[in-house]
Amino acid sequence: MQPASNNIIQTHSLSFSYGRLNVLNEINLEVPRGSIFGFLGPNGAGKSTTIKTLLGLLHTEQGMIRIFGKELNTHKLFILERIGAMVESPSLYDHLNAFRNLEITARMRNLPFKRIRPLLETVSLLQDAGRPVKQYSTGMKQRLCLAIALLAEPELLILDEPINGLDPNGIMEMRQMLGRINEEQKCTILLSSHILSEIEKICSDVAIISSGTLVYQGSMLTLLGLATGREVLTIHVDDTDKAKNLMDGRFDSTIKDQILTVTVKDKPEAAYIIRMLIENGIEVYSAERESAGLEASFLHLLNSSHQS
């Protein structure tokens, strides 16, 4: 008999490849029961592939997946009955309205239709429930997908990029909703995202994946602790590629939208970096220093993993 575990999801040496391309490399994921678990990683790191293997959409070639203490390969239906999921982009029948979309899932899962109305109310879609989904905004579609995932009152909610494409208001609504679900229904939530600020606000535990390898797993507080005393320097330069080359191997840095972001220890280090850029013929238009949060820890871990 297996000892009772506090982890609702547990994978052991989970590996997966698309042909010769190795996408997941010996992942040992442990998602604590009752947590809101953030699954972070840059695009193409293997977040969606991990989620698809957890849901049995992709058959694992190596390793073991255990959910609710049972092996996925042998207890797939038992496990899926207790899971609500949302995989990648909103999957909905565009020509049908919200009520019909929920009805289809309710029929397939053998659930009572009386759950549909309160759920539409929870996700603030009751007013628009009669309109075809193709007329919905991205935020409304995401909320409807969440309602579909919640229909079975799951013990575990797996959400792949649930805040993708949402405006700030939509992101805030989604965050509040997930918090409420976790608290009121005692539902464990695993959500993947690359929007770090949101993960930082909502998640109690976190795992970071990079190039198919798990580089961090633990509580959010511990992760934030990794960045204590560090700061983020945001620099607007004329040649970001040249600036990035200068940083590589010396500082944790990334480029996004022509802005160079560097993690620094203190003021003198920030001054040193700016001076170095200017001395190497790079025009510095602006530079801003902020105290570091999850972003700095994330960059630090990613760069450490690349260097090793």
Partner 1 sequence: MKRNLNTFARIVAAETVKLRSTFAFWLTLFYPIGTVLLVTLFWVSMRNNKSLSTDMFINNLGNVASFFLPFFIVLMISVACNTEHKSAMLKHILALPVPRPVFYLGKFAGIMVFITLALILTLVFAYGSLLLCGLLYTKLGLGATFNHGLLLRIIIRAYIAASAIYTIQYWLGMRLRNLTLPVAIGSALIILPIAILIILGIAGLINENQSFTKIITYNPYSYPYSAAFNMMKSTEITIFSVNTYIFISLSLAALLLGAWDFTRRRVY
Of 71, 88, 248, 266, the residue at the interface with partner 1 (CB under 8 A) is 88
Instruction: Give the CA diameter of the chain.
Output: 69
Question: Does residue number 95 form part of the binding site for partner 1 (CB under 8 A)?
Answer: yes
Question: Does residue number 148 form part of the binding site for partner 1 (CB under 8 A)?
Answer: yes
Taking 3-state DSSP, the helix, strand and coil percentages for the chain, each rounded to the nearest 5, stand at 40, 30, 30
- The contact pattern for partner 1, residues 43-62, with x = CB under 8 A and - = no contact, is ---------x--xxxxx---
Write down the least CB distance from residue 88 to partner 1, Å. 7
Task: Kindly tell me the number of DSSP H helices and DSSP E strands found in the chain.
Answer: 11, 15
Closer of 56 and 218 to partner 1 (Cβ): 56
3-class secondary structure, 138 = helix
Closer of 55 and 171 to partner 1 (Cβ): 55
CB 39 within 8 A of CB 204: no
Tell me the window of 71-79, 114-122, 209-217, 227-235 that interacts with partner 1 (CB under 8 A): 71-79
Closer of 113 and 272 to partner 1 (Cβ): 113
Question: Does residue number 137 form part of the binding site for partner 1 (CB under 8 A)?
Answer: no
Write down the least CB distance from residue 20 to partner 1, Å. 15
Question: Does residue number 165 form part of the binding site for partner 1 (CB under 8 A)?
Answer: no
Contacts of 229 (CB under 8 A, 6+ apart): 265
Would strands 205-210 and 36-40 be described as parallel, antiparallel, or unpaired? Answer: parallel
- DSSP letter for each residue of 110-135: T--GGGHHHHHHHTT-STTTTSBGGG
Tell me the window of 94-102, 166-174, 194-202, 280-288 that interacts with partner 1 (CB under 8 A): 94-102
Kindly list the distances between the CA atom of residue 32 and the CA atoms of 1, 50, 67, 187, in Å, as whole numbers in the listed order: 20, 17, 11, 11
Question: Does residue number 77 form part of the binding site for partner 1 (CB under 8 A)?
Answer: yes
Contact set with partner 1 (CB under 8 A): 52, 55-59, 76-78, 80-81, 83, 85-96, 100, 103-105, 107-110, 148
